[in-house]
Amino acid sequence: MVRLFGSTSDAEVIRKSFTSELTYRIEADEFERIRSIIEAGDVRAIYDFNLEITSFFCPACNACYCGEHWVHWDVFDDDDGFFWHDSIRGCCPQGHERMLED
């Protein structure tokens, strides 16, 4: 689910998906364009704007999949023996891999 909240000067997109709930701040000059994209349901345009908002979308398939259909995993980086969460990666049902969240 992708929603736009707030006014032109104070807006954010909130996305809820199988990876997490993500909040992304929208600048005033982007507000109308993002509102129009969301209203039109243009997932590709949302992906092109910010791929993390569309963690459910496979650009290679040009299709959306639910969490039950993505194989996803956490990626950790090793920093001198200290491991920290780096990102979430996944494969769609057709085997296309991509970063889902950074």
Other Cβ atoms closer than 10 A to 34: 21
Domain count, the chain: 1
Q: Length of the chain in residues, anyone?
A: 102
Per-residue pLDDT of the chain (102 residues; tens, 9 = 90+): 899 999 888 999 999 999 999 999 999 999 999 999 999 999 999 999 999 999 999 999 999 999 999 999 999 988 877 888 889 999 999 999 999 998
Residue with tokens 């909240």: 5
- The CA distances from residue 61 to 31, 32, 37, 94, in Å, are 28, 28, 20, 8
pTM here is 0.85
Residue 68 lies in domain: 2-101
